[in-house]
Chain A
Amino acid sequence: LASRLAWIEKARKFSANTLEGAVVVSSTQTGEIQAMVGGRDARYAGFNRAIDAQRPIGSLAKPIVYLTALEDPQRYTLITPLDDNELVWSQPGTTDWKPQNYDHQFHDQVQLRTALELSYNVATARLGIELGVEHILDKLPLYGIEQRPPPFASSLLGAFGLSPVEVTQLYQTFADGGFRTPLRAIRAIVTADGKPLQRYPLNVEPVAPPAPVYLLTATLQGVVREGTAQSLINWLPAEMNVAGKTGTTDDLRDSWFAGYTGDRVAVVWVGRDDNTTSGLTGSSGAMTIWGEMMKNIQPEPLDPVMPEEIELVNIDPVSGLRYDDGCKAGMLLPFIKDSAPAETSPCRDWSEDVLKRNSDAKAEGKPEAKQDTKKRNWFQRLFD
């Protein structure tokens, strides 16, 4: 952590030794905390940021909203269109709230998975309001979050503080298919001659049904594959199928990354103790530390077992309709049974068009990310 923070400070010409950070690594299936770093000086015995620092979690809260939506498969699937047009939220006693996207643009209609992958605030806030802010906040205790944020729509975008350990608990539940295992650092207390006085046995609680959690994980893998965390590829190969989420708070005060592989859940926070701007987003700060650290501990690839209620359906990305079996061009997306579109769409020529476009882009030597934006703009035009 310290070396990476020093590197960031140097690269960005910040004054030395001013950034702080915290790291928590735990085992996905057993909930054991395997590493915890409470600051640059890891041996400092005072303030442990991993436990004591309550910092706004920003977009790290979004998966809670999407998981709540996906638990209702008749209304929401990964391709349900969400409205990302300007939103004004009024509640008596508070000033009107107008959420903005990070890029200060609105994106009209976006698919649910895309809204999470690209971390759109407006679409997420509207989705959360549709589902009911209170209804979503009621779920927090299930995921081990004891405090209750104010019942404002802004809470859904993470305008409340959590410690890195609490965030790890939240993502552990996503990583383990909806089973919450309280994090533990101590297995047992033994006497001097090795007899156990007190054990802290493994405890597991099912808090979310496996099928929606599977869909959420698929989307968080999309965040890394083609969303806000795609530069993680600089540290971990695509075959790792890492699932993760970036988090950035107002004025770049907090930079977060939470993610998981097959065997580990890890959370990194970077910011400043005086709560001034860190100048870093989730992907430029915390994620680089996450990537560097995970590369060094050689994690297992993430390959969640597909629950029986899930089926893979070949989808036409434009119309959102089911493709005929013969079509090779579509996207294979997971759906909870009976929630995939029933209507089929014939194979289209446009797919060849996209392939051609992509190969053109490749021929011009455009980087991967550019290509993605290009494709997306083209999608958006079709939605207009």
Chain B
Amino acid sequence: LKNNFVWFVFSAWLLLLAGCAGVAPPAPSETQPQQPGEAAIIEPAPKSAMSDNRAVIALLDRAQTDNASGQREAAGASLERALRIEPRNPWLWLELAQVRLAQGQYAQAITLARKSNSFSGHQPSVQARNWQVIGQARVAQGDSAGAEQAFKLSAELAQQAEADHGSVFNFQ
């Protein structure tokens, strides 16, 4: 029970953080081309908003721990297990895209982020993060114009996500 409470406080703190900081960089101006360094750090979304299935959340936890400690393959395997349970959960595809990005598999990261977008319906919060991943992968691929476009879209979607708080961060 105590754990749950701590978890809730932590999630609420994350929500505040997400609300204040947003997930995207300031929109790049026309005259200043986007530099690789200008990509935003992708804030994790509260897990309660990502799934209401306990098994999926446990697998997500393990994937994030593994990913943070550099165990990319293991993280990918956990996410695939989660996807077996919820194959159309856009957050899981986003997480997998981030793992592939960290692995340096840029084309795969872009495809997975697109696939996440295809399941995202009207959730700008997940779409903003997907475009962030696409932008970062494009930077790594040397496509700076494409990256700039992606970051711009990401920033717009992040603004929408903030305006649309209630439905995006959904605590039950």
Chains A and B belong together in one complex: yes
Contact A201 B73 (CB under 8 A): yes
Q: Which of B28-36, B44-52, B111-119 contacts A (4 or more CB under 8 A)?
A: B111-119
Contact A204 B112 (CB under 8 A): yes
A30's partner among B76, B84, B119, B121 (CB-CB below 8 A) is: B84
- The CA of A196 and the CA of B119, in the complex, are separated in Å by 31
- Interface residue ranges of A170-191 to B (CB < 8 Å): 177, 179, 187-188
B87 interfacial by beta-carbon distance below 8 Å: yes
A304 and chain B: residue at smallest CB distance: B118
A307 interfacial by beta-carbon distance below 8 Å: yes
A199-B118 contact given A28-B87, A30-B87, A204-B108, CB 8 Å threshold: no
B99 and chain A: residue at smallest CB distance: A201
Chain B residues near A273 (CB, 8 Å)? none
A32 and chain B: residue at smallest CB distance: B84
Chain A residues near B120 (CB, 8 Å)? 305
A29 interfacial by beta-carbon distance below 8 Å: yes
Counting chain B CB atoms within 10 Å of each CB, the highest count among A179, A188, A205, A305 belongs to A305
Chain A residues near B102 (CB, 8 Å)? none
B80 and chain A: residue at smallest CB distance: A202
Contact B114 A206 (CB under 8 A): yes
A263 interfacial by beta-carbon distance below 8 Å: yes
B165 interfacial by beta-carbon distance below 8 Å: no
* A48 CB to nearest chain B CB (Å): 24
Contact B96 A29 (CB under 8 A): no
A319 interfacial by beta-carbon distance below 8 Å: no
- The CA of A28 and the CA of B83, in the complex, are separated in Å by 11
B97 and chain A: residue at smallest CB distance: A204
- The CA of A243 and the CA of B153, in the complex, are separated in Å by 33
Chain A residues near B114 (CB, 8 Å)? 179, 206
Contact B118 A29 (CB under 8 A): no
B77's partner among A32, A179, A199, A307 (CB-CB below 8 A) is: A199
Contact B108 A305 (CB under 8 A): no
Chain A residues near B111 (CB, 8 Å)? 179, 204-206
Chain B residues near A262 (CB, 8 Å)? 88
Interface flags for B89-114 (1: CB within 8 Å of A; 0: not) read 00000001000000000001001101
- The CA of A188 and the CA of B80, in the complex, are separated in Å by 12
Contact A305 B118 (CB under 8 A): yes
Interface flags for B116-130 (1: CB within 8 Å of A; 0: not) read 001111000000000
- The CA of A305 and the CA of B118, in the complex, are separated in Å by 7
Interface flags for A80-100 (1: CB within 8 Å of B; 0: not) read 000000000000000000000
Contact B84 A27 (CB under 8 A): yes
Contact B96 A305 (CB under 8 A): no
Contact B88 A199 (CB under 8 A): no
- The CA of A196 and the CA of B78, in the complex, are separated in Å by 13
- Interface residue ranges of A202-251 to B (CB < 8 Å): 202-206, 210
A179's partner among B76, B80, B96, B115 (CB-CB below 8 A) is: B115
- Interface residue ranges of A324-375 to B (CB < 8 Å): none
Chain A residues near B118 (CB, 8 Å)? 177, 179, 210, 305, 307
* A334 CB to nearest chain B CB (Å): 15
A204-B77 contact given A27-B87, A305-B121, CB 8 Å threshold: no
A262 and chain B: residue at smallest CB distance: B88
B84 and chain A: residue at smallest CB distance: A30
- The CA of A263 and the CA of B88, in the complex, are separated in Å by 9
Chain B residues near A305 (CB, 8 Å)? 118-121
- The CA of A188 and the CA of B73, in the complex, are separated in Å by 11
Chain A residues near B121 (CB, 8 Å)? 305
- The CA of A305 and the CA of B112, in the complex, are separated in Å by 16
* B70 CB to nearest chain A CB (Å): 16
Chain B residues near A196 (CB, 8 Å)? 73, 77
- The CA of A118 and the CA of B172, in the complex, are separated in Å by 48
Chain B residues near A177 (CB, 8 Å)? 115, 118
- Interface residue ranges of A282-310 to B (CB < 8 Å): 305, 307
- The CA of A143 and the CA of B80, in the complex, are separated in Å by 22
Chain B residues near A210 (CB, 8 Å)? 118
Chain A residues near B108 (CB, 8 Å)? 203-204
A188-B84 contact given A204-B108, A204-B111, CB 8 Å threshold: no
Contact A187 B115 (CB under 8 A): no
- The CA of A187 and the CA of B76, in the complex, are separated in Å by 11
Chain B residues near A204 (CB, 8 Å)? 108, 111-112, 115
In the complex, besides A27-B87, A187-B80, 16 extra interface pairs with C-beta distance below 8 angstroms are: A29-B87, A29-B88, A179-B111, A179-B114, A179-B115, A187-B77, A196-B73, A201-B76, A202-B83, A202-B96, A203-B108, A204-B115, A305-B118, A305-B119, A305-B120, A305-B121
A selection of 13 A-B contacts at a CB cut-off of 8 Å is A29-B87, A29-B88, A30-B84, A30-B87, A179-B115, A199-B73, A204-B111, A204-B112, A204-B115, A206-B111, A206-B114, A305-B118, A305-B120
Which A residues contact B (CB, under 8 angstroms)? 27-30, 32, 177, 179, 187-188, 196, 199, 201-206, 210, 262-263, 305, 307
